[in-house]
Amino acid sequence: MSAPKEAVVKMYAAREEIYPREIQGRYARLRWAGVWLTQLVFYGLPWLQWNGRQAVLFDLGARKFHLFGLVLWPQDFIYLAGLLIVCAYGLFMVTAVAGRVWCGFACPQTVYTELFLWIERRIEGARSARIRLDRQPWTFEKTWKKGAKHAAWMAVALWTGFTFVGYFTPVHTLVREVASFSVGPWEGFWVLFYGFATYGNAGWMREQVCKYMCPYARFQSAMFDKDTLIVTYDRARGEPRRPGARTVGDTAGDCIDCTLCVQVCPTGIDIRRGLQYECIGCAACVDACNGVMDKVKKRHGLIRYATENALANNWSTAQVKARLLRPRVLAYGAVLGLLVLAMTTSLALRTPLKVDVVRDRGSMGREVEDGQVENVYRLQLMNTSENTRTYRLAVEGMPGARIVGADVVALDGASARGVPVRVRAEGGEGGSHRIAFTITAIDDPAVSVREEAAFIVPR
Amino acid sequence: MADFTSGFWNWYVALITVASIAGCAILLWSQSRYKIRVGQDGQPEKTTGHVWDEDLTELNTPMPRWWMGLFYLTIVFGIVYLVLFPGLGSYAGKLGWHSTGAYQAELKQADTDFGPLFARYASQDLKAVAADPQAHAIGERMFLNYCAQCHGSDARGNKGYPNLTDPDWLHGGEPETIKLTIMAGRIGQMPAMGAALGSDKDIEGVAHYVRNLSGLTADPVKVAFGKAKFGACAACHGPEGKGNPMLGAPNLADKTWLYGGSADTIMETIRKGRTNTMPAFGDFLGEAKVHVLAAYVWSLSNPAPSKPIDEKVAAK
């Protein structure tokens, strides 16, 4: 008996270039709507002004996040966590209902790839022309076309990087710095780095980001069930596939094997092989197939959004919709709704004043005249509103407790300050006593914070 | 770099690091291709031949080649890093980077950033600096950082640490004197006078006498007794007990008592003496900063007539 033959195979392979064919149709229009919507917001937001400053500015140096009328401080980090959880549950719910629609229509990777592909088509031409161009040797035509394409890509990428940094450095300052070649080292780094990431991901990496790098693409299968909308090929209707016209009594299916669905696929798969992990649910194949069905005068929907159950049981749209309110979706929806409610309530009700009471550690408590005792505190006050405010400080909790010296403090809008405060009270039993500071804005008594502290009487 | 008594651990760390990097490279290279059985059709089979749990097989789905490139890139990065920066045992790296050096560079940067501001104040008279709102705000922040631990956030002191907001000064309260105190520090020395004064009765008498100087309640008999003994104290505190700022000897005729004014505490002070130290901040902060700080401290006991502390300006 001879040993089985063996061959050495490589565990790593070069990527095969994908040339997605341009497609028109309902879902392509929807995707372009996604591109416009997300990119108008992304590119436009930094230019918006609000009360004499940039409307959305994440000022890392000053540790203040401005969001229109809202100023968030490092202490408000919980809202960022909340926002991320809301986003996550939003994604979970959408995925449970309609699969990877985020991936197909709104994800930055898809959106920028769409933009870059548009540029590519304008310069290098349609799919067949691009394939031909890549195969031919380096002629003058190829050189200028490739050069022009990459120059255009880089311009978009740099503008994207510039916009990104514009969220952290006021964009008008950034324009001046770029114009005078005085961009700071970190600003320069991030413009180039973010630009490079855009250029690399949307120009070169494309579907590989979704296939090999994106964690969401990997764990969303956990959100899928048999009632989740996915892009599907109606095998029963399409098979057996065969090119050419159909005659009466033909047993061939509706699929004419034109392979357009494969040519338009941005991840290079054949949807007719069923649900695959590469599919980003962009429905380009749906558009392509519907166009072909129009030409051969058949019904739309040989490839369509459908659920596994709908396909298996021949459900109507109404039946599919009826399955929308299943426990999984309701649970995601309930958690999402509660979180949004909690976040907005908490944001609306939060007091624009933060107080930390720091007892002086050097002294326990000093005796002053008439047997009274004095403790010293540092009140770390933070005015998180945008206006200058004056606050009255008060203290209670001990017999005769009062603040000695100034009990009125003014703070500029969005500023912080440590205020030394002396509290005097009747002496009494030695040891620690609970007292409480109340800090109230003079112009608005609703802005008031109560903070407990310890008052120490020497034994 | 003599962190250890022998060089063994340096070599130990360096060897493990180098071996790990080499191991990663070998693993990567050896695993980039794989022997697979050839099937009936003469083509390699689709699975790697691994079988688990009876029927689980591993498909040979090749990873993208750039992915492997990234792995090699991390190895190159690691080698370059270890050549340039410290990491291999006690090897210091070609760039000579050191965390102390990085800290010094940051300090230097801060000095360049804020130096001109302090230099501007340093050329002004201390009283003029004290009247400057911005300098006041800077001084307050510095005080909270460097002085508040002992003197309290409100600068009113503690037992053994003088109150800086009253007009009573051990070494003198002129702006220049305060600056000198912060620059060079002070040592306050009250010698133990128990033996020199004699018996407990003598000490008690002196204690009552100085309480009487301050206008505090005292036993007249003991006061008279103590007055006779006060001569030993007069060398420093003066014949009338008014103190001597040149020596840092406190005025005993006012109501300010650094360690407490009860008869018992005063007796303890006389018997055992007291030593307290104000550390020198000159080397640590530099004269320019001390200038602003001294102006702030002076302003605490000499507030401008119209404004105790202008809250609005100080908040800036």
Out of A350, A372, A395, pick the residue that ends a domain: A350
Q: Do B315 and A377 touch (CB under 8 A)?
A: no
**Are A403 and A333 within one domain?**
no
Q: For each successive 10 residues of chain A (459 residues), what is the average pLDDT?
A: 71 89 94 96 94 91 86 87 93 93 94 96 95 94 96 97 95 93 92 97 94 89 91 92 84 92 94 92 95 93 93 89 91 95 91 90 76 88 88 92 90 85 87 93 91 90
Cβ neighbour number for residue A310 with a 10 Å cutoff: 20
User: What is the ipTM metric for this complex?
Assistant: 0.70
pLDDT tens digit sequence for B184-242 = 999 989 999 988 888 888 999 999 999 999 888 888 999 998 888 898 899 999 999 99
Q: Which of A330, A350, A370 is the last residue of a domain?
A: A350
Q: Which two tokens stand for residue B28?
A: 């990567």
**Residues A261, A365 share a domain:** no
Residues B17-38 pLDDT 10s: 999 999 999 999 998 888 888 8
**Mean pLDDT for the stretch of residues B70-76:** 95
User: Which residues of chain A are within 8 Å of residue B62 when distances are taken between CB atoms?
Assistant: 9-13
Contact state of B31 with A406 under an 8 Å Cβ cutoff: no
The count of structural domains within chain A is: 2
More confident residue, B153 or B16: B16
Q: Is residue A415 in a domain?
A: yes
Indicate whether A59 belongs to any domain: yes
Q: Answer whether A3 touches B (CB < 8 Å).
A: no
| Pair A121, A247 in one domain | yes
The domains found in chain B, sorted by start residue, are 106-185+279-314 (1.10.760.10), 188-278 (1.10.760.10)
> Across the interface, do A420 and B161 touch by the CB < 8 Å criterion?
no
In a domain? residue A4: no
Mean pLDDT over residues B56-78, rounded? 90
The alpha-carbon gap from A47 to the nearest alpha carbon of chain B, in Å, equals 28
| End-to-end alpha carbon distance in chain A | 97
Residue A7 in contact with partner chain B when CB distance is under 8 A: yes
Q: Is B169 helix (H, G, I), strand (E, B) or coil?
A: coil
- Residue A6 covered by a domain: no
Q: Which residues contact A217 (CB under 8 A, 6 or more apart)?
A: A100, A103, A210, A211, A277, A280
How do residues B246-266 score in pLDDT, each as one tens digit?
888 999 988 888 888 888 899
Which amino acid, A381?
L
Nearest alpha-carbon partner for A280 in A268, A272, A291 = A268
Residue A391 lies in a domain: yes
Q: Measuring CA to CA, which residue among A243, A1, A201 is closest to residue A108?
A: A201
A104 with A80, same domain? yes
Query: Could you tell me how far CA B144 lies from the centroid of its own chain?
Result: 11
Nearest to A9 among B36, B155, B315 (CB): B36
Residue type, A55: A
Domain range enclosing A256: 13-350
**CATH number (domain holding residue A410):** 2.60.40.10
Is residue A96 domain-shared with residue A171, that is, in the same domain? yes
Is residue A362 helix, strand or coil? coil
In this structure, the answer to whether residues A285 and A334 fall within a common structural domain is: yes
Same domain, A201 and A259: yes
Inter-chain CB proximity B32 and A10 less than 8 Å: yes
Residues of B with CB under 8 A from a CB of A: 31-38, 44, 60, 62-68, 141, 144, 148-159, 161, 308-309, 311-312, 314-316
Same domain, A341 and A311: yes
Cα nearest neighbour of A388 on chain B: B312
Do A198 and A332 fall within a single domain?
A: yes
The two tokens of residue A20 are: 């997605």
Cβ pair A41, B61 in contact under 8 A: no
Residue A8 falls inside a structural domain: no
The residue count of chain B comes to 316
| Structural domain contains residue A42 | yes
In this structure, is residue A79 part of a structural domain? yes
CA–CA separation, A411 vs A355, rounded Å?
Answer: 13
Task: Specify whether A323 is located in the same domain as A243.
Answer: yes
According to the model, what pLDDT value does residue A361 have?
A: 78
With an 8 Å Cβ cutoff, are A13 and B309 in contact? no
Strand bridging mode B186-190 / A230-233 = unpaired
- Partner-chain contact A408 B311, CB within 8 Å: yes
Residue A142: per-residue pLDDT: 95
- Cβ atoms within 10 Å of B315's Cβ, excluding its own: 18
Selecting from A12, A411, A420 the residue whose C-beta is nearest the C-beta of B62 gives A12
**B63/A376 CB distance under 8 A:** no
**Domain end among A293, A324, A350:** A350
Q: Are residues A138 and A285 in the same domain?
A: yes
| Distance of residue B49 Cα from the nearest chain A Cα, in angstroms | 11
Q: Which two tokens stand for residue B301?
A: 């006991």
Q: What is the mean pLDDT of chain B?
A: 88
pTM of the model: 0.77
Residues A308 and A358 in one domain: no
